Structure 1
């Protein structure tokens, strides 16, 4: 058991650190890619930002037109 502790424990620690580093880098790259995709999508939509909602006057006018068309 003494030989394993001298050689095995550091090797297992190095492998664990390598695996952790791999996953951290992979997730960072995925995050960067997804943020870049979001930015490109916003740019292609015409400047991004929020789309303005209809004003209350326009909504009322639509409802009134719908009521009139039903009757």
Structure 2
């Protein structure tokens, strides 16, 4: 019984350390991705992951016109 009384708090401390490590790591990843997003937004005047429907339509129309 003495070993269990010693092992349980040690396992609790190890579990708390693991949870803290992952929480800090994910927080740093989130901050870096937000900083990268903010930097990209200021570089090109706005964050646009995809083109607008007007741009896609204009590109399709231009490719159709060049094929004719």
- TM-score above 0.5: yes
- The answer to whether 1:8 aligns with 2:7 is yes
Mapped partners of 2:42, 2:22: distance in 1: 30
Matches within 5 A, 1:1-71: 2-46=1-45, 48-50=46-48, 52=52, 53-54=54-55, 60=61, 62=62, 63-64=64-65, 66=66, 67=68
Q: Taking CA–CA contacts closer than 8 Å with sequence separation of 6 or more, which of the two structures ends up with the larger relative contact order?
A: 2
List, as ranges, runs of 4+ consecutive aligned residues in structure 1 with deviation greater than 4 Å: 49-52, 55-60
1:31: Cα distance to partner?
Answer: 1.0
Mapped partners of 2:28, 2:21: distance in 1: 11
Q: What TM-score do the two structures reach when normalised by structure 1?
A: 0.67
Q: What TM-score do the two structures reach when normalised by structure 2?
A: 0.69
User: In structure 2, do the counterparts of structure 1 residues 34 and 57 end up closer, same or farther at CA, with 3 Å as the change threshold?
Assistant: closer
